[in-house]
């Protein structure tokens, strides 16, 4: 084939902006839609969302929050091996219920403690010493008659171990207290309040009832993979272009040496998926999409592009043809719940989010104020800053690329991640309803795509909102 023929025969690479889902007959109300799925072969989720392994997105707080919401967080690898292992271990020790750090100090005055309870609308709180020990529990009734410190009016502590945290919710529902401590061997972990018992979450847990968690690795860092294997449910290779012979061979050694599910990526073509299945031998999931992220510049730097929607469909076809039980994670370019629905309809089991979660409270980046607006830093893992950090902390990382393929910037502050995810999940449920599906598997069977001009918002709406 000549070069001109190659251009003429260029394949259409569909993006999220190129297609829409054609509405179908809805079998159930959107509130009844089931969005549970699998992240990898053995890791089950209640929502089809994971947080990206980026150093401005996922560390301990995000990983815990995502699991509590029914998803999973992938802890980034831009840190020393020991630190990443420690974070994964802490997630496994975290209680599978929402907790806060609300507590009273035994040395503060009863009067001040009473004011704190009134401001929070609570009748009681655990009492925790400055060295993190749970030392008691204080009730407003006892504090009213106290003229000294909280320690003189507190009663013995009542607490639950993290794995019995669900029992704490039952205990609070009895009405005996407004709060109860979660502790391990006298060490304070957090506080569960009555509000949590009223708004119970359905966390994603492992067979032992612990929160699920994943971690990113380089396939060339076998020691890191082995160290993490004890604590994580899935290992996720963090390679921009996994369809590389050396990367696939290295991943095969990881698969042989670890027991956690192995998610490989990023891949973007049928051929990449087929080769990965052949070379790695044990593939428990695919991370799919190349150069589709909002801060990825690979398409500009290297001229290569496998947009997430197109790549998901291509990889899914390959997996189905080869009989591989390997769920697909759509990674990159997701900007809305509508994009999530499109990714799922194209064959994905879940999506991996960076940009949409980067501005939340749980993202590890610091809050930055510009005038009256608040932002959080966000950067691609192939950005210069991220690469410099990675090479500094990980001697196993191969510094093969000398040019950055990502940028750094700021994203608007979005508040708690629970609010962001809740809105996305409701949108996904609505989208499945429009497509005529009651769950993700049905969506795969009934979804129909249509090509149409981009839907434009009338300018009058923008003018109406000005001022």
- Catalytic, 296? Answer yes
Tokens 């080869």, residue?
322
**Backbone region of residue 236 per phi and psi (left: phi > 0; alpha: psi in -120 to 50; beta: other values):** beta
Tell me which of 296, 316, 379, 414 is the catalytic residue.
Answer: 296
Question: To which H or E segment does residue 249 belong?
Answer: helix 245-257
C-alpha torsion angle, residues 291, 270, 312, 400 (rounded to 10): -30
Per DSSP, helices labelled H in 100-216 are 110-120, 140-144, 165-173, 194-198
Q: Is 141 exposed, middle or buried (0-12, 13-18, 19+ CB in 10 A)?
A: exposed
Residue 178 and residue 126 in contact, taking contact as beta carbons nearer than 8 Å:
no
> Both tokens of residue 430?
């609505």
How far, in Å, CA of 90 to CA of 433, rounded? 38
Per DSSP, helices labelled H in 77-136 are 81-93, 110-120
Tell me which of 12, 147, 207, 395 is the catalytic residue.
Answer: 395
Q: Is 27 exposed, middle or buried (0-12, 13-18, 19+ CB in 10 A)?
A: middle
Strands 368-370 and 373-379: antiparallel
How far, in Å, CA of 174 to CA of 329, rounded? 42
Tokens 């991996």, residue?
352
Q: Tell me: cis bond preceding 382? Omega within 30 of 0 counts.
A: no
Q: At what angle do helices 337-345 and 417-435 cross, to 10 degrees?
A: 50
> Both tokens of residue 94?
């975290």
Among 77, 79, 74, 54, which residue's Cα sits nearest to residue 64? 74
- Phi and psi (nearest 5°) for 236? -120, 115
Q: 172-197 b/e with 16+ CB inside 10 Å = b? A: beeeebbbbbbbeeeebbbbbbbebb
Provide the 10 A C-beta neighbour count for residue 321. 11
Strands 234-237 and 261-267: parallel
Residue 177 and residue 122 in contact, taking contact as beta carbons nearer than 8 Å:
no
Strands 373-379 and 449-451: unpaired
Provide the 10 A C-beta neighbour count for residue 104. 25
**Hey, which residues are catalytic here?**
296, 395
């Amino acid at each position: 084939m000549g070069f001109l023929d190659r251009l003429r025969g260029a394949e259409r690479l569909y993006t999220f902006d190129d297609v829409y889902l054609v509405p179908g007959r809805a079998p159930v109300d959107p509130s009844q839609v089931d969005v549970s799925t699998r992240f990898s072969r053995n890791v089950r989720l209640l929502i089809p969302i994971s947080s990206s392994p980026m150093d401005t997105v996922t560390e301990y707080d995000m990983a815990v929050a995502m699991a509590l919401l029914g998803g999973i967080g992938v802890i980034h690898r831009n840190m020393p091996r020991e630190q990443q292992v420690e974070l994964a271990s802490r997630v496994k020790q975290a209680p599978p219920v929402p907790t806060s750090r609300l507590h009273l100090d035994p040395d503060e005055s009863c009067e001040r403690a009473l004011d704190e309870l009134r401001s929070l609308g609570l009748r009681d709180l655990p009492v925790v010493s400055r060295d993190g020990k749970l030392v008691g529990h204080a009730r407003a009734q006892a504090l009213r008659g106290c003229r000294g410190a909280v320690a003189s009016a507190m009663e013995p502590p009542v607490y639950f171990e993290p794995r019995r945290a669900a029992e704490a919710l039952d205990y609070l529902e009895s009405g005996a207290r407004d709060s109860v401590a979660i502790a391990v061997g006298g060490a304070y972990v957090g506080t569960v309040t009555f509000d949590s018992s009223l708004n119970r979450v359905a966390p994603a847990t492992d067979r032992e009832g612990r929160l699920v968690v994943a971690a990113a690795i380089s396939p060339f860092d076998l020691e890191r993979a082995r160290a993490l294997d004890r604590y994580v449910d899935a290992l996720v290779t963090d390679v921009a272009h996994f369809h590389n012979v050396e990367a696939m061979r290295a991943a095969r050694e990881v698969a042989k040496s670890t027991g956690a599910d192995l998610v490989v990526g990023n891949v973007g073509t049928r051929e990449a998926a087929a080769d990965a299945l052949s070379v790695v031998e044990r593939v428990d999931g695919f991370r799919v999409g190349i150069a589709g992220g909002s801060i990825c510049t690979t398409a500009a730097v290297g001229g290569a592009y496998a947009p997430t929607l197109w790549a998901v469909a291509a990889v899914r076809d390959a997996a189905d043809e080869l009989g591989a039980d390997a769920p697909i994670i759509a990674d990159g370019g997701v900007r809305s719940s509508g994009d999530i629905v499109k990714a799922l309809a194209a064959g994905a089991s879940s999506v991996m989010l960076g940009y949409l979660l980067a501005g939340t409270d749980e993202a590890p980046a610091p809050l930055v104020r510009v005038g009256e607006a608040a932002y959080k830093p966000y950067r691609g893992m192939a950005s210069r800053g991220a690469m410099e950090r990675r090479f500094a902390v990980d001697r196993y990382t191969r510094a093969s690329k000398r040019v950055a393929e990502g940028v750094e910037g700021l994203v608007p502050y979005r508040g708690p991640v629970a609010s962001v995810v809740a809105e996305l999940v409701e949108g996904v449920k609505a989208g499945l309803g429009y497509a005529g599906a009651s769950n993700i598997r049905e969506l795969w069977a009934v979804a129909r795509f249509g090509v149409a001009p981009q839907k434009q918002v009338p300018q009058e709406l923008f003018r109406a909102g000005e001022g």
